[in-house]
Amino acid sequence: MILLPARMGMLNRRALIRQMEKAGLASRADLARSLGMSQPTAGKIVDELLRENILEEITPTADSSASLAGPGRPGRLLCLNRSRPGFLGIQMGVSHSDFYELPLNASCPPLWQERLTHPGKGANPVRAWEQSLKRMAARSRRRKFHCAVLSVPGVVDEPAGRVIFSPNIHWSEKADLPGIIQRHWKIPVFLVQEERTLALGHHRQHPEHEDFLLVDFGDGVGGAILTGGKPFASSQPIGELGHTPVPGNRRKCGCGATGCLETLVSVHGLLRSFAEEHPAKRHGWTELQSHIVTRGVEPWLGRALQAAAVVIAGALNVLGLRRVVLTGALNELSPKVVARLADGIREGSIWARFGAVDCHVEARNRMAGLVAVGIDRFIAPKPMLKQSFTAKN
């Protein structure tokens, strides 16, 4: 296989942007040296990225100059653009969708954000969502984005840009979500499964974690796998750990089945169990947090956590992974809750018999994940493989 010049240029561009993601700040000389490029080649790519507002130059501070110090006078420092709009990030939840104006620099907060509440019963949810989105787009006409990245829960066909099955947002299955967004923003739209977004965001913030299972607890319970720093490739786009049946659980689930794990350890499931065990109490999330701080992990909660631990440990055993990242609602309850869950995971994991199973409790890094998807799929996409053959004499 012979690399064509255009493909080589795309690979060099992608490598340089990837290096900028890892480094945060770098000079032209730093980039050339770390990538094994000639300085003229690295400089040409940098100049191109500066013209496209993908990179920006900043004045070195005393701290950054010292950390990048080398012989001679320090050069101008580069970083992924943090002052201009990069991506329109959208996170679709059960009751609302959050919209963000995200710079390319994932370490920076959003430049703008707005929440769109989903319509109530009786309304046409797809039409109402589009009408609200249309009004939002009209208010933000001056914002120019490279592309939009839409994070959605459920079973998602990312290449086709559609939701196949969403137990908690069934109306999204019938909607051309990318088409709706494109009608009002006129930009490319990339659909990504919610937990994959969270996993990519975690890897962006913790690049040393390259192989792990992320499990997120919220309106549902989802999982995503990264191996070698990349999403696990599967012909079946399913990451729904929450729809594993738990023996003895008779609760009906939004997916149509009975006994799913998420009916016990999602936010709704936990509050329902709390209400059943303590009918005289108020049954909000704050009350549950206070109750656990006071009373600890009661038997009903311990059983739910053990069911989750069995499912997670089973996934680790099949995948051959020794690291799990826990995000979402359970982390908000009490350190005792996540400690009990982590103990159960280690108890059920075969790796713990002869090594260590790492359980990391982390905040959701969704916005970093949205930026990572935008960079990977639009700013620095992986070029298609091409082959060129020379004739034999």
pLDDT tens for 36-50 read 999 999 999 999 999
Cα–Cα distance, 36 to 150 (Å, whole number): 35
73 and 93 belong to one structural domain? no
Looking at the structure, do residues 58 and 190 belong to the same domain, yes or no? no
Q: pTM value?
A: 0.88
In this structure, what CATH number is given to the domain that contains residue 116? 3.30.420.40
The string of pLDDT tens digits covering residues 71-121 is 544 558 999 999 888 899 999 998 999 999 999 998 888 988 999 888 877
Say if 203 falls within a structural domain. no
Residues 56, 142 within the same domain: no
Give the number of domains in the chain.
3
Q: Which of 36-50, 141-155, 377-391 has the lowest mean pLDDT?
A: 377-391
CA 169 to chain centre: 19
Looking at the fold, whether 218 and 357 belong to one and the same domain comes out as yes
51 and 97, same structural domain? no
pLDDT at 387: 39
Tell which of 13, 47, 80 closes a domain.
80
Query: If pLDDT is split at 50, 70 and 90, which confidence band does 384 have?
Result: low
Give the other-Cβ count within 10 Å of 249's Cβ. 17
pLDDT at 323 over 80: yes
Tell me whether residue 180 is in a domain.
yes
Could you tell me the CATH number of the domain that includes residue 53? 1.10.10.10
**Gap between the Cα atoms of 99 and 114, Å rounded:** 5
Same domain, 216 and 343: yes
Residue-wise DSSP of 37-64: --HHHHHHHHHHHHHTTSEEEEPPPHHH
Instruction: Let me know whether 345 and 375 are in one domain.
Output: no
User: What was the pLDDT predicted at 382?
Assistant: 81
Residues 41, 72, single domain; the answer is: yes
Q: What is the mean pLDDT of residues 215-238?
A: 84
Residue 107 within any structural domain of the chain: yes
274 shares a domain with 233: yes
Q: Are residues 268 and 142 in the same domain?
A: no
Find the mean pLDDT for residues 335-363: 94
Q: What is the pLDDT of residue 107?
A: 87
- Clarify whether residues 213 and 157 are in a common domain: no
Section 130-150 average pLDDT: 87
Assess whether 129 and 269 both reside in one domain.
no
Nearest to 201 by CA among 226, 178, 174, 235: 226
Domain that holds residue 174: 87-197+368-379
Is 393 a member of any domain?
no
Q: Contact at 8 Å (CB) between 381 and 345?
A: no
Of the residues 60, 80, 100, which one is the last residue of a structural domain? 80
